[in-house]
Amino acid sequence: MDTPSSEPKCATEQDRLVGERIKVLRKSKGISQTALGSALGVTFQQIQKYENGVNRVGASRLSEVARVLEVPVSTFFEEGGGLVEQGQQEVFEFLRVRGAVDLLNAFIAIEDDQLRREVLALVRCAARMKQKQRT
């Protein structure tokens, strides 16, 4: 029979992934750590700890995070558990790149379709130039 340990549980890789997804979703919604903390009744430092995977996010708190960020709770779990589709996993990988969320938000703000296509062509051109420099 297992007895409860008096030691606090350490954060795991899954906790880190959950925190990372909280961060990506928070940024994509344009919500600051302070604002998210206020909505949850915690400090921005606590949000930082969640996002960095230092502290675990309890089930009820994760449910509140999902409500504030307007996503299903399952969004925070890895594809291996069958809760997140492969496409979502890839999106999270892309959004982890520094500046990706800012780039997407700026792109979405462009209302003119032609200008949006031109911006996309410019970004693709820059990526090809970088590829050529590597070879």
Dihedral of CA 42/16/32/45: which sign?
positive
Is the pLDDT confidence value at 81 over 70? no
Domain residue ranges in the chain:
8-96, 98-135
DSSP letter string, 10-52: PP-HHHHHHHHHHHHHHHHTT--HHHHHHHHTS-HHHHHHHHT
Per the structure block, which two tokens stand in for 135? 């070879």
Nearest to residue 35, comparing CAs of 55, 56, 65? Answer: 65
> So what's the pLDDT on residue 89?
65
pLDDT tens for each residue of 26-74: 988 889 999 999 999 999 999 999 999 899 999 999 999 999 998 889 8
* CATH class name, domain 8-96: mainly alpha
pTM of structure: 0.63
Does pLDDT of 106 surpass 60? yes
